Amino acid sequence: KILITGANGQLGCVLTETLQGRYGLENVIASDLREKENIRGIFEVIDATDYDRIQHVVTQYKITQIYHLAAILSAKGEANPLQTWDINTKTFLNVLEISRLNGIEKVFYPSSIAVFGDAALKNNTPNDAYLNPSTAYGISKVDGENWSQYYFLKYGLDVRSIRYPGVIGYQSLPGGGTTDYAVDIYHKAVLKEPFTCFLNEDTTLPMIYMDDVIRATVELMEAPSEKIKIRTSYNIAGVSFSPKEIASEISKVFPNFTIEYKPDFREDIAKRWSKSIDDSQAKADWGWKPNYNLEAITKAMISALNDYYKEAV
């Protein structure tokens, strides 16, 4: 039985559906701080800062695996560091401690390319780069990575983690992230509206398509334990592009599409992150391979959002 926290979130809702498809609707317990949004199947409201509440649900459903997706993203995290600490770090420690005390078999922890700061190489950032993040969010993710490794080394808890790039998908909207523009831009393009970008035109960031990132998560979690050599977190790469490059790809489909640039505080966050990621370790250890480049992402996003907005009319 699998428990997912943060199931209403950008990735949580898609991962819930994928795991339900793989392991059966009755074997996946979705949870979130808020009442259920676009989720079928079993759902529990869980405030993951509440240790007893998680423990209760773990006992009630005889949970054997936990995917801990509840988190505050980078841009929103800057407004309230204490809340970011509670929601990103305290909740994860609750999950780890409950996992070890209840014999949970596997735990998944989403880290982020936000763990990288000025000390890391900007291009092809290696897995073992020195981590000096510049945001409250990045600090919380480095912390989570270290706690993962600690619980693995000290208690043998099978915690696995990926450093997610910015995730692009049509199924859901991100909230409070710095990479969110790369989802919003497709919505505006399909609605034939102009787009205002909060990053500079040349600010390149690592991104990944939803299908790829969900597949990476499932593949990592299904890999034999001895293949998982890194117990902090794995770099994975999808595609890297700047706002100018995504806009130019969109213009091939919508020649009248317009974009203007009004960089705000999120530009300061983005410029300290990596531009591209070296994922050779994930490739070597558990066979990771991305499928979607920018052209394929653009095609898939526009076609899915066209259908979505047609049905919505």
Catalytic residue list = 137
Angle between helices 243-253 and 181-190 (to 10 degrees): 20
> Which DSSP helix (H) or strand (E) runs through 234?
strand 234-235
Q: How many residues bind ligand VAH (CB under 6 A)?
A: 13
Map the footprint of ligand VAH across residues 60-79, applying CB under 6 A.
73-74
Taking CB under 6 A as the criterion, the residue among 43, 67, 152, 164 binding ligand VAH is 164
Q: Which residue, 58 or 208, has its beta carbon nearer to ligand VAH?
A: 208
Return the number of other C-beta atoms located less than 10 Å from residue 225's C-beta. Answer: 10
Residue 174's contacts (CB-CB under 8 Å, 6 or more residues apart) are 10, 73, 167, 180, 183
Least separation, in Å, of the C-beta of 178 and ligand VAH?
Answer: 4
For 117, the token pair is 């700061």
Does 233 contact ligand VAH by CB under 6 A? Answer: no
Does 179 contact ligand VAH by CB under 6 A? Answer: yes
Q: Count Cβ neighbours within 10 Å for each residue of 238-252 and write b for 16 or more, e otherwise.
A: bbbbbbbebbebbee
Q: Which stretch binds ligand VAH (CB under 6 A): 58-66, 90-98, 174-182, 224-232?
A: 174-182
Does 113 contact ligand VAH by CB under 6 A? Answer: yes
Q: Which stretch binds ligand VAH (CB under 6 A): 12-20, 115-123, 170-178, 297-305?
A: 170-178
Does 109 contact ligand VAH by CB under 6 A? Answer: no
Q: Which residues bind ligand VAH (CB under 6 A)?
A: 73-74, 112-114, 137, 164-166, 174, 177-179
